[in-house]
Amino acid sequence: MNPNPDPFENDLRALQRRTLPAEWRDEMLQAAAQPPRVARAPRWLVAGWSLAWAAILVMYFTTPAEPSAPQAAGVSETAPPLLWQQRAAAIEALLAVN
Amino acid sequence: MPAAPTLPELYDAHAAGLFHYFTSFTGNEADAKDLLQEFFIKLARQQIPAGIASMRAWLLRLAHHHSIDWLRRHRVRRDAEEAAPVEMFATHEDPDQAELAQRLTRALALLPLEQRSVAQLKLWDGLTFEEIAEVQGIPLNTAASRYRYALEKLRSELRPLYDELKPS
């Protein structure tokens, strides 16, 4: 950009910057060559977590099955109208008393 | 297209320049060394593109972002500007040159960070204003004016010594 830098600029440019200590080279290149550390959960946490899951699975497979689902579903489908009828009857009985 | 350089090749060619650039931000050698170390670790984990026109400018751009991140993390800009200057120049056998180098190190430390880093890139890394603008993400005119201000301040700081040395 500036084809004729002034002599002051040239004199500054002529000063040699210091080089780095030789031992830094190996130190830095070795550190750079290390595989990245993956953040891992502590071993006790992993062991505890695994044990908890194992216990859950054991309980799941050893517990007898619940009563069959269709029956329960049948009850739940018929329950609301029955409840409404009972509730309406109770309200009417109360009104009749009063 | 030439192959991408290896890490040792990059270290041999550019580590000193990068270290001095980091020093202009940190103001102390220990932090600049840590930054250089982190920088090479980061570099080892990324793909270095082949066929870059100016590898120096490319690395310095990464180094600039790395330094800005460091400044944000550490919030020590003021401290860096007030710290004792880090010896930047090689030991000169000529006592006049040695004296000039020592005074220059002190004069550089007095410059604001923006001007100091631009002066370093221009004078000792040999970057053009276009490259400096790209490295620092600033307009070309800003890079040129920061350099001009830096040079004038250095000139006025060093004038007595420089005028004394000049006739020899």
Residue in A with minimal Cα distance to B120 = A13
Q: Are residues B59 and B114 in the same domain?
A: no
A31-67: pLDDT as tens digits: 988 877 777 778 889 999 999 999 999 998 888 776 6
Q: Are residues B36 and B65 in the same domain?
A: yes
Quote the domain boundaries for residue B65.
1-87
Find the mean pLDDT for residues A69-96.
Answer: 72
Q: Are residues B127 and B155 in the same domain?
A: yes
Residue in A with minimal Cα distance to B102 = A15
User: Is A41 an interface residue toward B (CB < 8 Å)?
Assistant: no
- pLDDT value at residue B81: 52
* Least confidently predicted of A47-51, A82-86, B40-44, B63-67: A82-86
Q: Are residues B76 and B136 in the same domain?
A: no
B131-167: pLDDT as tens digits: 999 999 999 999 999 999 999 999 999 988 877 776 5
User: If pLDDT is split at 50, 70 and 90, which confidence band does B96 have?
Assistant: confident
Domain segments of chain A as ranges: 73-98
**Separation between Cα atoms, residue B40 and residue B19, nearest integer Å:** 11
CATH code, domain carrying B51: 1.10.1740.10
- Report phi then psi at A44, rounded to 5: -60, -35
**Please, what's the b/e burial string for B18-27 (b: 16 or more CB within 10 A of its CB; e: otherwise)?**
bbbbbbbbbb
Mean pLDDT of chain B: 88
Q: Are residues B76 and B5 in the same domain?
A: yes
User: If pLDDT is split at 50, 70 and 90, which confidence band does B120 have?
Assistant: very high
Which of B43, B71, B87 is the last residue before a domain boundary? B87
Q: Do A25 and B15 touch (CB under 8 A)?
A: yes
- pLDDT value at residue A62: 87
B13-46: pLDDT as tens digits: 999 999 999 999 888 899 999 999 999 999 999 8
Share of residues in chain B with pLDDT > 90 (%):
58
Q: Are residues B66 and B81 in the same domain?
A: yes
Q: How many CB atoms lie within 10 A of CB B122?
A: 26
| Cβ atoms of A15 and B165 closer than 8 Å | no
Find the mean pLDDT for residues B46-66.
Answer: 89
Q: Do B162 and A11 touch (CB under 8 A)?
A: yes
Q: Are residues B68 and B140 in the same domain?
A: no
Evaluate if residue A69 carries a pLDDT over 90. Answer: no
- pLDDT value at residue B82: 56
Confidence check on the interface: ipTM exceeds 0.85, yes or no: no
User: If pLDDT is split at 50, 70 and 90, which confidence band does A2 have?
Assistant: low
Q: Are residues B4 and B34 in the same domain?
A: yes
**pTM assigned to the model:** 0.70
**Separation between Cα atoms, residue B124 and residue B136, nearest integer Å:** 16
Q: Are residues B73 and B154 in the same domain?
A: no
Pair of tokens at residue B146: 């920061």
Pairs from B69-77 (Cβ < 8 Å, separation ≥ 24): B70/B25, B70/B26, B70/B31, B70/B35, B71/B25, B74/B31, B76/B26, B76/B27, B77/B113
Which of B57, B87, B117 is the last residue before a domain boundary? B87
Q: Are residues B10 and B75 in the same domain?
A: yes
Residue in A with minimal Cα distance to B46 = A32
Which of B43, B68, B87 is the last residue before a domain boundary? B87
- pLDDT value at residue B53: 83
